Structures are given as C-alpha cells and as structure tokens.
Structure 1
Amino acid sequence: MPHLYTLDLAANLWTYGNVDVKEHLADFIGQLYSRQQQEICQLYRDYSRCTIVYGPHKDDRAGEEFYHHPARQIMGFWLQGKEGSDERLCWTAGEKPFAEQVRWFKEKAELAIPGWVELRERCL
C-alpha cells in the first residue's frame, strides 16, 4: 500500500502546492487505520529506508516495481536467447554483459532482504 500514500501525497502537493509531510502522513494513516496509528506511521516512514539504493544520488531508491519489472525483463531476455547486455537494464545495472547485469540485480536484492524481513516482522 505504500504507493497509495505516495499518490495521495502527490495529489495534495498538486492541489495545495505545499504539504506538511508529518501531518499528511498522520491524516492518511488516520483514514485507513483505527488503532496503533503512531506505530503504523513509523512503518510507513521506515518503508523507504528498506528500498534498494541503485545509484549515486540521494533519490536513487527503488519503488516496488523495481523488484518485479526488471525480473520480467531479465527472464524475457534470457528466454529469447539474446546475447550482450539488455539495453532495458543499462539505466541502472550498466552496459555490462547480461550475466553481470543479472548478478548486479541479485546482489542489490540480497542486500535489501534483512531490512524487508525486519520491517515485515514489525508489521506482523
């Protein structure tokens, strides 16, 4: 559900031009949950800390599509028996041979696992 929060935040920014992020998150959580709202707000804030850092810039952090969209591209490239590098993955994995691009995604995903496991446990 984190994408719903981001969309709601963007809608408020679009409508009002400025948003108090802490207040907006509290209001958003208040609309969805009747109990443990402070704890849930913290989970939403911590969600972004779990995302994969894929580039050198502060905002080079992966959204939820990063976990399945490149995987589909990797499988398609592999199943088609293509060689070289997959141009669709170069934006983040670089212009490397395909096997190195796959390794890059695997390493990034593995580094993120502990954070996601910890967040999941807290959610439960």
Structure 2
Amino acid sequence: MDELFASLDALAAEDLAPLFGPALLERLRPLLVAQNRLAAEVARTVRACEVSGAAEVDGLKTMGPWLRGHGHLSAAEAARVVRPGRALAHLPAMAAAFAAGQVTGEQVAAIAGWPSPSP
C-alpha cells in the first residue's frame, strides 16, 4: 500500500498547467484504467471481508454498516461497493475484465442487473 500511496503522491505533485489537450488525454487514459482496477480490488477485498465475517471484529454484522461507519460512505454507496464482489464471485470472466480495468463498476452493475452507480 505504501507504494500505491507514493505513486498517487507523485501523480498529485505533477504540474498539469504546461500540458494541453492531447497530453492531458494521454495522461487521463491510464488513470481511468487504474480507477477501474482500484474499484475492482476494493470490491474483491470487500467480498473477502464479507465472506470471512471481518466486520464482526468491530461489532457489525455485515460490510454495509462497516463501510458506512469506517469508510464514511452513504448507504447507497456502501451497497454499490458490496454488490459487485457478490456478483463477480459468480462471473469470473467479468471479474477478470474488471481487475484488468477493461470494464467499469457501472458496467458490472449493468451485467448484474442493478441500478447503475450515480456519477
């Protein structure tokens, strides 16, 4: 995790002012893939927490309340974080595509038949 945070710090320190259209778009493309990959890893980890009963360590029964209390998420956002892990456990090809950053959380929600996450 330290490497991830160091990389994010380095990205945040970059001066974007001298960049223009094409250079900014080239910077954005891998960031969008990384965003999808990070969302997939969060979903995978939340699912592992759910399966192992990790929330019980803090006196909570499920990950939804844990995400609301410790992750400071709304009830709707917590549900949007919990659901993909449940569905992806049954959809290995979609899980692999999400992990590779090839699909978004919204696309996972559509395949699983849930309302899409709000922007």
Structure showing greater relative contact order (alpha-carbon pairs closer than 8 Å, 6 or more residues apart): 2
Q: Does TM, normalized by the shorter one, top 0.5? A: no
Please give the range of the TM-score, normalised by the shorter of the 2 chains: 0.3 to 0.5
Give the TM-score, by structure 1 length: 0.34
Instruction: Please say which structure displays the higher CA radius of gyration.
Output: 1
